[in-house]
Amino acid sequence: MLLQIHEPGQTPMPHAGDNLAVGIDLGTTNSLVAISRDGKPEVLRDPRGRSLIPSIIAYKTDGAVAVGDDARLVLLDEPERVISSIKRLMGRGTDDVKRLAGSLPHELAPGRSGEMVKLVIGDRVVSPVEVSAEILRELRHRGEGALGQSVTRAVVTVPAYFDDAARTATKDAARLAGLEVLRLVNEPTAAALAYGLDKGAEGTFAVYDLGGGTFDVSILRLEKGVFQVLATGGDAALGGDDFDHAIAEHFLAQSPGAAPSAAEVKRALFSARLAKECLSTQDSGEWWIERDGRRSAHPLDRATLDRLLGPLVERTIAICGEVLHDARLAVEDLAGVVLVGGSTRVPLVQRRVAEFFARPPLSDIDPDEVVALGAALQAEALTRGSDTLLLDVTPLSLGIETLGGLVEKIIPRNTAIPVAKAQEFTTYQDGQDAMVVHVVQGEREMVDQNRSLARFTLAGIPPMTAGAARVRVEFAVDADGLLTVSAREQTTGREQRVEVRPTYGLPPEDMERMLRESMKHARDDLARRLLTEARVEGERALLALEGALRKDSQLLSAPERSTIETAVARLRRSVQGEDRDDIMQAITALDGACQDFAQRRMDHGVASALKGLTIDRVERDMAGGRG
C-alpha cells in the first residue's frame, strides 16, 4: 500500500472526502461525469484521456454487460444484443410507446396497459431504469478511478421537459447504480450555470440545448450570482437520433427490398451517425449499409443533408419563438445564446440559430461537456456551499379536478421551484363526508384534456351542509421538480398526503402538444369552462331547492309551487343545452320564483327556534351572550 506524503501544514482533514459529490450528464448519445473543486469544474477522463462514455449497452451471450465503446464493438456483430438511446423511454408506459414501436430499433416485451415499458435485448427482458443504471454505474466507476476514492453522491441532469415519472425513473436508476441523487438539475440550467460562472457573465441568455434525444430551450437571467429560469420549453422526442433516422431512411430508401430488420436498422443508424458527424466538417462522402445480406454504398453531400434535416431544425426554431413569447422578451433583449449538446455541431443548426437570434451563438465551452460541468458546480454548491442561487421552473401547470370536470390550476407553468402553494375547497352536497382529490398536469381547462397524475380520497370530513367544510389542498414541488400533494380538513385536522409517483410518465412530446393546444384552443376552452361552471351552478341551485322542498314544502301554496316547478323545468332544460346565457337566465328566474319561499323559510326557522321562550328569557340569554 502506497503512503500518501504531504507538505507540512497541507495534510487533509480527516474524512475530507466525505463531502465529495460529482456531476453527471446522463445523455441520450453520450454521458459524462465531472468534479468541481473551489469553483473550478473539470470532466473526469479514462486512462486514455477520453471524457465521453457512449450511452450504449450490450448484454453479451456470456452474461456480461458492456457499456460505452466496448458495447459499440458488439453492435457490429450482434446488434440485437445492443441498446442505445434508452433515455427516450425513461418514465414511459406500454401505451405510450405503442405508436413508436415501428420506429424504435428495439423489440418491445409484451405488457399490460399501464405497465412500465420493457425491452427484449437478446435473451433478456430489461426496463429503461435497469439499462440507465448500467450507464450510471459505469460513470460511477469512471469517477472512482479518476479520483481514487468511493463515489456515492451525485447531481444528475435531466431534460427540462422530463415529466414527474421520467424524473422519478432517473432517480431510481441512480439508486440501482449505488448513487444518492442530491438534486436533479435541468440540462439548460446546468449549462448556464457553467457558462455564467466560468465567464462571469451577467444578463439574460437563451440556452439552446440539442442533444441526442431531446431538445430544450430556456431563458435565464444571470445576475449577481442568481441564476433564474424565466421560461422553458422544448420537445423531449427531438434530437440527434431523429437526424440519424432521417439519414438512415434516406439510405434505406435507396436500397429497396423487404422491410428492414431491427438489426439492419441499427446498422443503418450507425452509418447515418457517422455521415452526420463527418459532414459537419466536410462537404460530401460515401457510407455503407447492409440490406438483405448485401452491402451497398450511398453518397451524401452537405446540401442533401440540410434538406433532410431542415424540417427537424425548424421545429426547434419555432419552439425558441414560443419560449421567448412566454418570457415576454424579444430577441434584442438577450445578451447572448449558448449552444449545448453534440447535435449543435451540425452546421445547419448553427446557421439557423444565428439567423433567428440575430447573433453568432456562444460555443466556446465544449457543448458536449458544459452540462456535466454545470452539474459538478451544483454538486459542489450542495456539499461545500456556494455564493450562487439556482432558481429553476416547473414546465407544465399543476392543478386538481373540480366539479364538472374543470381544472383548477394551483401551480402555473414556469413557476420557480422549489415552491408550495395551497388553496381551499369545500363540499358540494349536504352531509358529504369524503372528497376525491384528482391531481392533473397540463394547460387546458377540462380534466379530459390534461394528464392525470394521481388520485386519492380524503375521508372523515364531518357531515355538514354543502359549502361549510373547509379543505385545504397544498401542492409542493421540490428542487428536483417532483410533486407532493396533501389535503387537510381544517375543522378536524384530518389529513391525507401522497407523493406523486406515476407508474409511467407523460409522453414527453405531449408536453409541447399541450402547450400548443392550450394557446390554439384558449378561446374555445374558456367558453367551455364558463358553460360548465354555469351548469354546475344550475345543478347546485336545483339540489339546494330539492332539500328545501323536502323539509318545508308545506309553506308553499299550490300556485306558488306551480310557479317554482315551471322555473325548475326550465332550468333543467337549460343545463342540458349549450347556451350559457340561457342557463344563467334560468337560474335568475328560479331565484325570483323562490324569493318569497326563502323568506318564509327563514321566518319559520326563527319562529321555531323561539317557540316556547318568553321575552324575558330571550333578553336574559342575549345579555348573557354579551357578557
CA distance linking residue 177 with residue 65, whole number of Å: 14
Active site includes 187?
A: yes
Bridge partners of 227? 222, 390
pLDDT of res. 315: 94
What are the C-alpha distances in Å from 226 to residues 393, 419, 528? Answer: 14, 17, 41
- Which of 80, 163, 172, 187 is catalytic? The answer is 187
Show Cβ contacts of residue 627 under 8 Å, excluding neighbours closer than 6 positions: none
Amino acid at 473: V
pLDDT of res. 619: 64
CA distance linking residue 46 with residue 39, whole number of Å: 22
CATH number of the domain at 398-489, please?
2.60.34.10
Q: Give the residue among 396, 418, 399 at the shortest CA–CA distance from 410.
A: 399
Phi and psi for 559 in degrees, rounded to 5? -60, -40
Region(s) of the chain under CATH 2.60.34.10: 398-489
Active site includes 209?
A: yes
- What number of other Cβ atoms are within 10 A of residue 375's Cβ? 35
Residues of the chain with pLDDT under 50: 1-17, 99-103, 198, 503-508, 510-511, 514, 627
Classify 483 as helix, strand or coil. Answer: strand
Q: Give the residue among 479, 480, 414, 388 at the shortest CA–CA distance from 194.
A: 388
In CATH, what class is 523-611?
Answer: mainly alpha
Angle between helices 240-253 and 262-278 (to 10 degrees): 110
HSE on the CB side for 540, CA within 13 Å? 15
Amino acid at 49: G
Show Cβ contacts of residue 211 under 8 Å, excluding neighbours closer than 6 positions: 27, 28, 29, 159, 187, 239, 240, 340, 341, 342, 343
Q: Are 207 and 336 in contact (CB under 8 A)?
A: no
CA distance linking residue 337 with residue 224, whole number of Å: 19
Threshold 0.75, pTM exceeds: no
Q: Are 131 and 158 in contact (CB under 8 A)?
A: no
pLDDT of res. 114: 58
pLDDT of res. 17: 46
CA distance linking residue 556 with residue 565, whole number of Å: 12
CA distance linking residue 101 with residue 89, whole number of Å: 11
Q: Give the largest Cα separation in the chain, rounded.
A: 110
CA distance linking residue 498 with residue 516, whole number of Å: 30
CA distance linking residue 233 with residue 64, whole number of Å: 39
Classify 431 as helix, strand or coil. Answer: coil
Q: Which stretches of 12-71 are assigned E, i.e. beta strand?
A: 22-25, 30-37, 40-43, 53-54, 56-59, 65-67
Q: Give the residue among 279, 351, 362, 342 at the shortest CA–CA distance from 313.
A: 351
Residue with cell 466536410: 282
Active site includes 368?
A: no
Region(s) of the chain under CATH 3.30.420.40: 22-239+310-391
- Which of 80, 209, 368, 489 is catalytic? The answer is 209
Whether residue 418 is preceded by a cis peptide bond, meaning omega within 30 degrees of 0, is yes
Q: Give the residue among 442, 430, 449, 464 at the shortest CA–CA distance from 546.
A: 430
- Which of 87, 171, 266, 409 is catalytic? The answer is 87
pLDDT tens-digit map of 170-214: 988 898 888 999 989 988 888 888 876 545 667 899 989 898 878
Q: What angle do CA 401, 407, 408 make, to 5 degrees?
A: 95
In CATH, what class is 240-309?
Answer: alpha beta
Radius of gyration, alpha carbons of the chain: 31
Which own/partner contact pairs does 439-442 have at CB distance under 8 Å and 24+ positions apart?
A: 439/398, 439/399, 439/400, 439/475, 439/483, 439/485, 439/498, 439/500, 440/398, 440/399, 440/400, 440/401, 440/407, 441/163, 441/164, 441/396, 441/397, 441/398, 441/506, 442/396, 442/397, 442/407, 442/514, 442/518
CA distance linking residue 400 with residue 407, whole number of Å: 6
The architecture CATH gives domain 22-239+310-391: 2-Layer Sandwich (3.30)
The secondary structure of residue 105, as a DSSP letter, is S
The torsion region of residue 52 among left (phi > 0), alpha (psi -120 to 50) and beta comes to beta
Residue with cell 410507446: 97
- Which of 25, 216, 380, 445 is catalytic? The answer is 25
Classify 232 as helix, strand or coil. Answer: strand
CA dihedral over 342, 343, 344, 346, signed as positive or negative = positive
pLDDT of res. 347: 94
pLDDT of res. 126: 85
Q: Are 234 and 161 in contact (CB under 8 A)?
A: yes
Bridge partners of 126? 119
Q: Are 374 and 185 in contact (CB under 8 A)?
A: yes
Active site includes 87?
A: yes
Q: Are 127 and 150 in contact (CB under 8 A)?
A: no
Amino acid at 22: V
Residue with cell 381544517: 490
Distance of CA 204 to the CA centre of its chain: 24
pLDDT of res. 96: 61
Region(s) of the chain under CATH 1.20.1270.10: 523-611
Q: Give the residue among 315, 280, 285 at the shortest CA–CA distance from 298.
A: 285
pLDDT of res. 490: 83
The kind and range of the H/E element at 362 are: none
Q: Which three cell numbers stand for residue 71?
A: 458495447
